[in-house]
Amino acid sequence: MSEEEPRRPRGADGPPEGVPVPFEPPPAAPGSPIEEALVRHRERLLAIDGVEGLDHGRGADGAEVIRVHIRAMSVKRKVPRELDGFPVITIVTGPYRAY
């Protein structure tokens, strides 16, 4: 393309050449059972004094687990061992601080 030619769209499958393309994530897929369990129990878990955050991942055996981030080991006794059939593990992170 010469400098005199105006930029043209590449076609129906893309934006004009050289134009930044905004990222638009795909629509959310239906939640997995473990994500649904997190949503269902989030409020109750975060209300426990010393719980800093929640997520999910895989345990040492590869099974899906709910992970509860806690401020200190003493909080562990307040956290259930299982939720909706998923094992719950605690991770001592200390307090979270917003920067």
Rounded CA-CA distance 72/41 in Å is 21
Q: 65 burial class (0-12, 13-18, 19+ CB within 10 angstroms)?
A: buried
Q: Domain for residue 39, yes or no? A: yes
pLDDT score for 33 = 92
pLDDT score for 96 = 87
Q: Domain for residue 45, yes or no? A: yes
pLDDT score for 21 = 67
Q: How many domains does the chain have?
A: 1
Helix (H, G, I), strand (E, B) or coil at 21: coil
Rounded CA-CA distance 76/72 in Å is 8
pLDDT score for 23 = 64
Helix (H, G, I), strand (E, B) or coil at 39: helix
Q: What are 61's two structure tokens?
A: 């055996």
Q: What is the mean pLDDT of each run of 10 residues along the chain (99 residues)?
A: 56 65 59 91 97 93 94 97 97 89
pLDDT score for 99 = 82
Give the domain range for residue 49. Answer: 31-99
pLDDT score for 90 = 97
